[in-house]
Amino acid sequence: MEIKKILIAILSVCVLICASGCSEAERVNHNISRQAEYFECERRVTVYNARTDKVIMLIEGYINIETDTENKELVVTAKVGPSKYKKNYVYLTDYTLYVVDDISGTHTDPWHYKIYFDFKLPDIEVK
């Protein structure tokens, strides 16, 4: 019982130090990361072939990402239903890179999820 009280006291001190010593940006970054862990923000992961400058994969939805450096892969988990999830693995090489965009917004479908492979952007002419 005594150990439990000590742990609670230590945790309380850590929370107070962070609350008073963390910058606004640190708190916001922490909160956004936490929201992503609970599938509360919509994101888009774009995977590029850095050698050819082509998009080779795009995943969009309420997703969380993790990097597995041991296996050189990006793990993308998407919530696609009330208790339904999809997990995708992107193997990272010397010639692949990825970008994660926060595209939060509202959708009529709360289980919005899209995945594209080797997609080509249309030519756009600006006048």
Are the C-beta atoms of residues 26 and 19 closer than 8 Å to each other?
Answer: no
pLDDT tens digits in sequence order for the chain, 127 residues long: 576 666 566 666 556 555 556 788 887 788 888 888 888 888 899 999 989 888 988 898 899 999 988 999 999 999 999 999 999 999 999 998 898 888 875 555 666 667 766 766 666 666 6
pLDDT of residue 3: 67
pLDDT of amino acid 104: 74
pTM reported for the whole predicted model:
0.64
Q: What is the pLDDT of residues 75-111, one digit of tens each?
A: 999 999 999 999 999 999 999 889 888 887 555 566 6
Cα separation values, 119 from 48, 49, 68, 90, 125, Å = 11, 12, 25, 16, 19
40 token code pair: 């509360």
**What pLDDT was estimated at residue 76?**
94
Structure tokens at 63: 């997703």
pLDDT at 48: 92
